[in-house]
Structure 1
């Protein structure tokens, strides 16, 4: 792949020079200075590379940020400038070739370092995503364990609860019976459980993210969730989509004076 990339880079350079030369002749202003021709062809090659990058030839995570583009442009312009000085000032052909080869090696070394930095950045993103996913499922596991414990407690004391409710009903104390039933429902609630759809992926993402948002902003979300237990898309895509939406909502809430978070998922 590296050999093919090198050959492709040289081919792109040759094509860029030919295009610049042909275009300059077509407009009736042929480029006679070698430095200007190298500069124009180099810029054109760089634009082609950026175009290929924008067309998703490379992976999304390896896309060149704005600062990286400026660094590459400065490196390219500096190399062209140094190459022009070397070819104009040095009288020895051997030393000229050695100098140009060193400039090429500096460029290749810089590109190689940048590539390694991008690979390291991709690994960090992947590890962060795995860590967050593990935290979400761990949170959901804690919720399930707490829910089962509450259910066991309710079953253990169910006879006593029913006797007390029956006593209230026999005496006509319906409000007390309703309040007691409501208190039992509160005992069954699990801290940190915002949704319980049966869809493990959705429940894990929402319960984890919404707890973080409420802690950071103090905003309690209003939920309308109506989804099947089985996801119609992959859990990875679901995690990315819901995670990004909730992260954006959390950032907006932190900047907002009036905080409201309404979630409708169907």
Structure 2
């Protein structure tokens, strides 16, 4: 009875260590999903599986590995936020590192003349503690890093490395143990350590690739900014040319007006003035005239698209020439919001299409509000978040995710309201520097 109770306590300890390893590991790379209910179920299920596995290990090793990979993947998918393939890659990676740690401990036992299957508890304990040590080291290295999800092709490519590692190390271990020669065991141990390091390097590789993706995204945004600014400067140059041409004609216009007034032709003079007003070059400046090149360029570009699509576009903007926010972030934020507003407006009839943009900067706080018509239907992902229905999302991100990231970066917030086919989004950015 005492022996059974002691064994149960030992298995419970090993299971708890397994839970701690996964908690530390996943919280290093992912944000926890706020839903939590399904995730809690998988945590309980995984706990039971680990405890049962410790009590009755009757299945073949490769079956246990497959079940463990599946459960850890499902646990990560249903507990943390992020791309599904990214979660699978990191789930397979932790299982691979865990498995390599077990083989490493097994090699140590064999080199000490102990059969690797005999000290089952101690082997499992040492391998888990070694895995925990590596995870804590990873946490120290990655705790301040923001690992972005990669495209499917990169995730699948990286996934092949840990899967191949498990297969190679398992067969190498079994062959070297069967031969039972220290020289082969030492060579196999060296190979295992190299493969373990390769799998650890994947984390660094994933981080570098995600940063490259983020840099590529911002480069695309900057290119868009340059294009918009160039267009904006061209428009101003055309306006200046209009001013220059108008200056040559202004004297003649004044002479005509003076002659009309001298002859008491007041009505004719008023009509003449009205015609002059309609050809004033300032009318071609665009809808946004804040002298903030990034904001004006982007809003005027979207305004041109809206006019082409017969969307009523009204703005009320009160911002200074310089804002304390990165231009790329403003482009991402405004570009996403206005693109989505235009897209939503195109889903309704021409008579009902409209966009209203309000911007105000006061007390180091920027408030952006966009109100637009929509058809009353929203596309949401599995997490309940609103996403875009466009086939090509470009570098603006998916749905409002990029908007939320920019708001979070500046300690702000995003509020979305939908009422009677009116979509309203309000974004607040704070300058705390």
Alignment of 1:138-153 (within 5 A): 138-153=230-245
In the alignment, is the contact (CA less than 8 A) between 1:150 and 1:187 conserved in 2? no
By relative contact order (CA 8 Å, sep 6+), the higher-ranking structure is 1
Higher helix share: 1
Superposed displacement of residue 157, structure 1? 2.1
| Whole-angstrom distance in 2 between the partners of 1:52 and 1:218 | 37
The reply to whether residue 205 of structure 1 matches residue 298 of structure 2 is yes
Which of 303, 310, 315 aligns to 1:224? It is 315
| Whole-angstrom distance in 1 between the partners of 2:330 and 2:143 | 22
In the alignment, is the contact (CA less than 8 A) between 1:39 and 1:80 conserved in 2? no
Structure 2 CA distance for partners of 1:81 and 1:43, relative to 1, 3 Å: farther
Partner of 2:54: 30
Which of 186, 192, 210 aligns to 1:100? It is 192
Superposed displacement of residue 227, structure 1? 0.7
Partner of 2:68: 40
Gaps of 5+ in 1: 1-14
In the alignment, is the contact (CA less than 8 A) between 1:199 and 1:230 conserved in 2? yes
Provide TM-score, normalisation by structure 1: 0.65
Partner of 2:226: 134
Structure 2 CA distance for partners of 1:263 and 1:100, relative to 1, 3 Å: same
Superposed displacement of residue 243, structure 1? 2.0
Gaps of 5+ in 2: 1-13, 22-46, 84-141, 180-184, 360-433
The reply to whether residue 234 of structure 1 matches residue 321 of structure 2 is no
* C-alpha RMSD over aligned residues: 4.5
Partner of 1:7: none
| Whole-angstrom distance in 2 between the partners of 1:38 and 1:21 | 21
Structure 2 CA distance for partners of 1:100 and 1:75, relative to 1, 3 Å: same
- Across the two proteins, how many residue pairs are aligned to each other? 246
The reply to whether residue 194 of structure 1 matches residue 222 of structure 2 is no
Higher strand share: 2
Which of 166, 175, 191 aligns to 1:80? It is 166
Partner of 1:63: 148
Structure 2 CA distance for partners of 1:110 and 1:177, relative to 1, 3 Å: same
Structure 1 window deviating more from structure 2 (23-32 vs 142-151): it is: 23-32
Partner of 2:356: 263
In the alignment, is the contact (CA less than 8 A) between 1:205 and 1:239 conserved in 2? yes
| Whole-angstrom distance in 2 between the partners of 1:246 and 1:149 | 31
Partner of 2:369: none
